[in-house]
Amino acid sequence: MVNMAEPPMPQDVVSPDGLPMPDDWSLPEPPAAPELRPYDLRCEHRDTPLGVGTAAPRLSWRLASDRRGDAPAGHRITVRGPGDVLAWDSGWIDGPDVSAGYGGAPLASFARYTWQVEVRDGGSARSWFDTGVLHADEWRTAWIEHDPETEPPFEPPTDDREPRTVRTSHLPAPRYFRRVLDLRPASAVRIAVTARGLYELRVNGRRVGDGELTPGWTDYRQRIPYQVYDVTDLAGDGPLCVGAVLADGWWSGSLGWDGRRQAQHYGRRPQLLVQLVAEHPDGTRTVIGSDGRWKETTGPLRYADLLMGESYDARLEHDGWDLPGFDDSAWAPARVADTDLTVLVPSVTEPVRVTQDLTPVERTTRDGRTIVDLGQNIAGRVRLTLRGAPAGTRVTLRHGEALTSDGDLYTANLRSAEATDHYVAAGRAEETFEPRFTVHGFRYVEVAGHADVEVVGRAMHSDTPVAGEFSCSDATVRRLVSNIRWSQRDNFVSVPTDCPQRDERLGWTADAQVFLPTACYNADVAAFFTGWLADLRSAQTPDGAVPDVVPHVMTERNGTPAWGDAATIVPWHLYQVYGDERVLRDSLPSMRRWVDHIERHNPGLVWRERVGSHYGDWLQAGVRTDRDVLATAYFALSADLTARAAAVLGEHETHARYADLRARIGEVFAREFVAPDGRITGDTQTGYLLALAHSLVPADLVPAAVAHLVADLERRGRRLTTGFAGVGLLGPVLSEHGHADLAYALLHDDRYPSWGYSIKRGATTIWERWDGWTEEAGFGPVAMNSFNHYALGSVGAWLYAGVAGLGQEEDSVGFRRPRIRPLVGGSLRWASAAYDTPLGRLDSRWEVDGGTLRLSVRIPPGAVATVHVPTTDPASVRESGEPVTGAEWTGSAVVCRVKSGRYSFTSAW
C-alpha cells in the first residue's frame, strides 16, 4: 500500500524464541504446581467481578500440576458472605468438574462474597465476587437528564469562537452532573451506575473505574447494563461528592452510515442513572438514587461523538467541580426523565479499556502540520501533550489508516465520519488532552495548530482475557497472526464490529460467526459473546428471522444466509469451547425459531425464499459462489447444530425432529447441487468448501469433489478466491483431505489475492477486502474499504488447530479430549501454540532439525489427549528417549493416547 511498505514491526518485544512479537498479548505461564492446584478462579467467566446479578452464579477454575497423569477426583467449594458468615459449603463433590453453580443461601444485593475451591488430594485457591441488584424492587432511583428550559444559550469566548462543521454543528455539549451527600459513618460504599449514553463517574475528585465508553452498547430498547463500583476507599471521612460526565454515545449520537445525530436511534438526549448503597457500622444501609436534587451544567467538553470526534476547550474547565466544597449555585437542577427501570440488567462482560500505549515510530512536519505514524493500525485515541501553547491555541487532531502518495492523511474511506478532535489550550506551561467519549480507527495522526507536541497512541478494546498465542519460524506468518489479533481487539469494542474507523462500526452477524473460532483461541470471549447473544435473541423477528446486524439498528435487513445462522453457530461453538450448557439452554428456542423460519418458507428444503439481502460469499475474489448452494449449506448446518444442542439438553424429541430435517436437507442438497462427477453447482472454492466441511457430499463422491477443489486452486496458480464464508474453511478442508501442501501454499502466498499481499504492503491489521489497495488501482472503493476488519483473518483458527495441532475431538467439549495433530510443512522449521482451555494450559511445539522431528506437548489435568506424532518411520518414535508402545500407525503419524503432563517426542522426518 502507498506509504505503508515494509515498516519495521512496531512495538517489538522479544519472545522466548528470540523472535519479534509485535503486540503485548502475552500469555502468562500457569503457576508452578508440585501437586494438583486450582488457579485462575472465575465467577460468571470473569475475574473478581463487581455487580453479579444472577442468583446462582457459575464458579469455575483451571488446574495446574507438574505431575503426569494428575486429574481432579473431586472438589469442595465454600462461600462466605458479609460478616464472614458461611453462605454455602458444597461438601466434597466427586468427579472431574472444574465448575459449579452456586447452591447456597440466597445471595444479598450489593454484598461481597469470598469463595474458596479445594481439589481432592491437591491444593486450594480463593477469590471473591460482588453482587449487584438481585431483586428489581430494590431499585430506588430514576433516570435524570438536562432540562433544556433551564440553560441560557452558550456563548463561547469572544476571542475565538468554537469551530464547527456541517456534521458537528448540531452536536450538543456533554453534561456535568454532581451531588454532595453525607453518608457518615460508612463502612462500605458502592455505586451502581449506567446511562442512556456514555458516562464517566467521579467521586471526591477521582475517576472511578478504568472502563471506557461505559455502559457499552446493547439494544437499549431491551436491556441497558449497569456497572457497580466499590468506592469505599474514595469516600474518606467527610462528605461524598458524586460526579458524572454524560455524553451521547450510541444512544443519541452519530451511529452507522446515517452519520447524523438526528437519526437518534434510541433517544433524543442522554440520561444518567445512579444508585448509592452505604453500609454503616451498625449493620444498617442507606440507599440514595439519582433524582431532581442533582445539579448539572456544561463544561469544557463542547461536543463528543463516537464518529465525529471530540472538542475540548480547557479555558472552560470547572476546577474542583467533582469535590464537595465546589460552589454549584449557578448549576441547574437535573430533570427526572423516566422511572422505568425494567430495562436494567447487570453487566456481564469486561468493559472497554485502554490496554496498550504506542509511541510513534516516525514523525514528519510540513506546512505547519505534523503527521505521526504509530506503526500500528489501532482502535482508540491519542494522548496529546502540549508545551508552551498560549491560551486560546487551537490544536486539531485528524486520524487515518493510511497516507496518500503525496504523504497526506488518507481519509476518503471514513465516509461521513470526521474522526477529528479539537483542543483549545488554557495557557499552562504543559497541558494534556485525551478524548473520553470517542474512538477512532487509525495508524496516522495529523496534528495542526501547535508544533511542540507529544503524541501517544492508546489502544482500546473490550478487555477480553488473553487465552492463546501462536508463533512460528516464518516472519510473514507471525505478522499475519499479529494482524489477526490486532483486528480482533480493534473490532471488539463493546460488540463485535466490522470496522473501527468509518461511519459503520456495526455488529454484522456473519462476520462474527465466521471469525468466532479464531476469536476463541486468541481470547476468552465467553462473557463477551454471552452479552451479544442476548441482543441477538431479543432482535429476532416474530417470524424467527435474525437481523444482519446486532444490536439491531440502521437497517431492516434480516434473514440472510450465513448472517442469520449466527443464531445457531455462535451458541454451539461457545458451548464446545467453554462447556457451559447455559448458552445452549438460553439459545435453543432462538435456534429453533431460526431454523423453523427457513423451513417454513422453503418446504422444498432448498433455501431460495426469504433470503434477506443474500450477500453470498461476501467479498470473494473474482468469482460468484452459487447463492442457493451457500444458503442451503447453512440451512443444513443450522439444523444440525440445533439437533445437537437439543441432544445435549436432553430434549430428545426436538433432537429427533431437527436431526431428521438435517438428513433430508442433505439428501436434497446432494440431488440438487452435486453432479455425478462430484462437481458442485457454481464450481467455486467456497461451494466445495461448504459442501465438504458440512458433510453434504455423498461419501462416494467426496474424492471427486476434493479433486475439483484442488483443480480450481491449481488452475489459478494456487490462488484463493474465497470471501467471508469460505476463507476460514480453506486450511481445515484441504488439510483434512490430504492437501496440506496447498493450504501452506496459500498461507505463504504474497500475490494478489492473499494475506501475504497486504502484509508485503505494510498492513498491520487484516483488510476488509483483498483489493483494499493494489498496484493497478491504488486504494479500493471508498464506499467500503476498511483496513481493519477481522473476517478474512478467520484463517487464525487453522494456525492454532492445524499448523500447531491444538484441537479437540469432534465429540469433545471444553477440551476434555484434546487432539494434538500438528501439520508439519510449508516453509516452516517450527511452530508453537498455547491455549488456556477450561481445564488448564494446553500447548504444543514442533521443530524439524535435519532428519529429526521434535514434538513437545503439555496436557492439562483431567484431559486425555490423542497425540499424532508425524513421522516417516513409526519405529523411530520416542517419548523422553524411550520407544513408544501400544500406539497406532496411520501411515503418516504415530497416534498415542496420553493423560495430563508434559511429553517430549522425537521421530524420523
Q: Helix, strand or coil for residue 226?
A: strand
Cβ contact 215:232 at 8 Å = no
d(CA 50, CA 277): 14
- pLDDT for the residue 161: 56
Residue ranges, the chain, pLDDT below 70: 1-24, 151-162, 259-264
d(CA 628, CA 864): 41
d(CA 703, CA 701): 6
Which residues are bridge partners to 101 per DSSP?
Answer: 58
- pLDDT for the residue 11: 38
Q: Helix, strand or coil for residue 722?
A: coil
Element (H, E) at 491: helix 475-491
Element (H, E) at 117: strand 112-119
- pLDDT for the residue 849: 96
d(CA 782, CA 514): 24
Helices marked H in 838-895 — which ranges?
A: none
d(CA 143, CA 519): 36
Q: Which amino acid is at 834?
A: A
| CA distance readout (Å), 6 to 2, 10, 181, 372, 799 | 11, 11, 58, 17, 23
* Grid coordinates given for 546: 435474525
Which residues are CB-contacts of 603 (< 8 A; sequence separation ≥ 6)? Answer: none
d(CA 490, CA 257): 19
Phi, psi at residue 702, to the nearest 5°? -60, -50
Rounded to a whole number of angstroms, the distance between the first and last alpha carbons of the chain is 40
Which residues are CB-contacts of 807 (< 8 A; sequence separation ≥ 6)? Answer: 800, 801, 818, 819, 820, 821
Phi, psi at residue 515, to the nearest 5°? -90, -15
Q: CA 17, 18, 21: angle at the middle one, nearest 5? A: 90
d(CA 432, CA 458): 14
- pLDDT for the residue 413: 96
How far does CA 24 lie from the centroid of its chain? 16
* Grid coordinates given for 25: 498479548
Which residues are CB-contacts of 589 (< 8 A; sequence separation ≥ 6)? Answer: none
pLDDT in tens, 236-284: 889 999 999 999 999 999 998 875 444 568 999 999 999 999 999 999 9
Element (H, E) at 670: helix 652-673
- pLDDT for the residue 236: 87
Q: Which amino acid is at 217?
A: W
- Residue 652: CA atoms inside 13 Å, Cβ hemisphere, count? 0
Q: Helix, strand or coil for residue 365?
A: strand
| CA distance readout (Å), 599 to 543, 545, 660, 849, 856 | 11, 11, 13, 55, 48
Q: Helix, strand or coil for residue 567?
A: helix
Beta strand residue intervals within 197-327, DSSP E: 198-203, 206-207, 224-230, 240-247, 271-279, 285-289, 295-297, 301-305, 309-313
Q: Say how many residues make up the chain.
A: 909
Which residues are CB-contacts of 331 (< 8 A; sequence separation ≥ 6)? Answer: 178, 295, 296, 297
Helices marked H in 492-550 — which ranges?
A: 509-522, 526-539
Which residues are CB-contacts of 617 (< 8 A; sequence separation ≥ 6)? Answer: 625, 630, 684, 686, 722, 723, 724, 725, 726
Q: Which amino acid is at 740?
A: A
State the catalytic residues: 504, 768
Which residues are CB-contacts of 783 (< 8 A; sequence separation ≥ 6)? Answer: 415
Cβ contact 490:765 at 8 Å = yes
Residue owning grid cell 440507599 = 287
How far does CA 626 lie from the centroid of its chain? 31
Helices marked H in 716-793 — which ranges?
A: 724-727, 730-736, 740-748, 755-760
d(CA 383, CA 301): 16
Let me know if 357 is exposed, middle or buried by CB neighbors in 10 A (0-12, 13-18, 19+).
middle
* Grid coordinates given for 707: 479433486
